[in-house]
């Protein structure tokens, strides 16, 4: 009897618990809430960012500090950002105004104002970013201990200053002399470089959660605003859209390549030569952009290191020249300086390119110095596929830039 009672109790408890367990294990995709109002009288679009939900609280081993949403009208140059919110379900209710009037310059320096009509050819894009904390999750447990230690250090320094007042009075004088020395000899703190550095650090802390695209079709504006400014105003109402990972957008790219390692946009050009003994000049490979999916960025976060790209010129089995980018945090997209990000293969004699190839590596390097190759590919005559096609097209069309997106393997 006792065993039967225990068995019946376990069966009933499992039945009651099964439903909540299924709900908790189901993953909810991140969403962002928007409301768009079209005002024909004011010739503008008023976009209200309502909020977001189901957002990730950490990226890899780093906790999320806050969230921010960027809205952009495509085509167009206007873009706005919300304030940062450090809530798991942030609510903004911030409104941004996009003007539908555009100034078009005509001949003889004249210009005219043209109103752009909304339609399926225009899109509103909302991108949500997570801003990470400075320290990883393991280090957050030590924050309270560090604060206590800092408090003790401050008390000890105050006691020392009270015991030796002469040293305390010398500190401001030394700082003043340091400022004067910096003003005269240019070794002081540069405020511009500090602000640029702080902006760069803030940008490096950003991680793209995802984006949503809303076509500005008249059929989407079916409701009236709650408080319309004009009788003709129409609204989309409150919309909650799922945030999709930002991919490279390469037409015809396979899904496994799109989500695996990432792609780079490279330009290959053979310079023209005036020498009689050589048909054409050097072969120049230029790195333009890097793009990868959000899934790839999460994988790079798991490597706990900074990334860089290395391009090498290989002649036979020997590296003759290479270029390496500065290290950068894992990101979805990045641009490179075309004048700096180059490697060149010389063409001293006829047939010099027979044994030459370009090797491009995507590398992660952690704080300890361990290198992990995320992906690589080779551009050459005997490689095959899209890699050899770019090589052959560059040699067939001297002086022309052959630009292609190439995937890391």
DSSP assignment of 331-353: -SEEE--TTTSEEEE---STTGG
**233-243 pLDDT, tens digit each:** 999 999 999 98
295: number of Cβ within 10 Å: 13
Whole-model pTM: value is 0.51
Residue 60, Cα to own-chain centre: how many angstroms?
16
Which of these ranges, 101-105, 169-173, 233-237, 299-303, has the smallest mean pLDDT?
Answer: 169-173
Which of these ranges, 6-10, 199-203, 340-344, has the smallest mean pLDDT?
Answer: 6-10
Selection from 272, 276, 357 nearest residue 314 by Cα: 357
For the chain, domains (ranges, CATH) are 31-135+205-242 (2.60.40.150), 137-202 (no CATH), 255-407 (2.60.40.150)
Arithmetic mean of pLDDT, 237-253: 68
- From CA 124, how far away is CA 272, in angstroms rounded? 44
**40-95 pLDDT, tens digit each:** 888 889 999 999 999 988 776 678 889 999 999 888 888 999 999 998 899 999 99
Which residues pair with residue 352 across a beta bridge? Answer: none
- From CA 129, how far away is CA 83, in angstroms rounded? 11
């Amino acid at each position: 009897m006792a065993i039967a009672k225990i068995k019946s109790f376990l069966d009933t408890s499992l039945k009651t618990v099964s439903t909540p367990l299924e709900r908790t294990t189901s993953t909810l995709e991140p969403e962002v809430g928007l409301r768009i109002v079209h005002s024909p009288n004011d010739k503008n679009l008023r976009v209200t960012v309502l909020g977001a939900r189901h957002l990730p609280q950490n990226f890899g081993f780093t906790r999320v500090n806050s969230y921010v949403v960027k809205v952009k009208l495509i085509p167009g140059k206007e873009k706005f950002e919300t304030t940062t919110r450090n809530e798991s379900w942030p609510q903004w209710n911030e409104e941004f105004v996009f003007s539908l009037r555009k100034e078009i310059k005509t001949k003889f320096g004249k210009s005219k104002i043209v109103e752009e009509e909304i339609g399926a050819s225009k899109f509103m894009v909302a991108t949500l970013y997570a801003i990470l904390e400075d320290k990883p999750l393991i280090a957050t447990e030590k924050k309270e201990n560090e604060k206590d230690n800092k408090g003790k250090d401050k008390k000890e320094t105050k006691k020392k200053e009270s015991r030796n007042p002469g040293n305390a009075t010398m500190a401001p004088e030394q700082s003043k002399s340091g400022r004067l020395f910096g003003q005269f000899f240019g070794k002081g703190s540069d405020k511009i470089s500090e602000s640029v550095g702080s902006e760069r650090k803030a940008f490096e802390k950003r991680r793209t959660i995802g984006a949503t695209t809303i076509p500005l079709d008249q059929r989407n504006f079916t409701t009236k605003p709650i408080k319309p400014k004009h009788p003709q105003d129409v609204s989309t109402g409150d919309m909650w859209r799922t945030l999709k990972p930002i991919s490279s957008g390469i037409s015809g790219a396979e899904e496994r390549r799109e989500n695996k390692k990432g792609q780079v946009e490279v330009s290959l050009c053979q310079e023209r030569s005036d020498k009689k003994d050589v048909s054409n000049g050097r072969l120049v490979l230029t790195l333009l952009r890097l793009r990868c999916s959000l899934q790839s960025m999460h994988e790079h976060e798991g490597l706990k290191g900074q990334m860089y790209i290395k391009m090498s010129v290989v002649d036979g089995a020997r590296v003759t020249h290479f270029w390496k980018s500065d290290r950068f945090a894992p990101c979805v997209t990045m641009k490179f300086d075309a004048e700096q990000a180059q490697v060149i293969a010389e063409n001293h004699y006829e047939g010099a390119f027979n044994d030459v190839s370009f090797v491009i590596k995507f590398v992660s390097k952690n704080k300890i110095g361990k290198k992990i190759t995320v992906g690589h590919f080779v551009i050459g005559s005997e490689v095959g596929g899209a890699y050899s096609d770019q090589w052959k097209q560059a040699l067939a069309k001297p002086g022309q830039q052959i630009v292609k997106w190439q995937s890391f393997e």
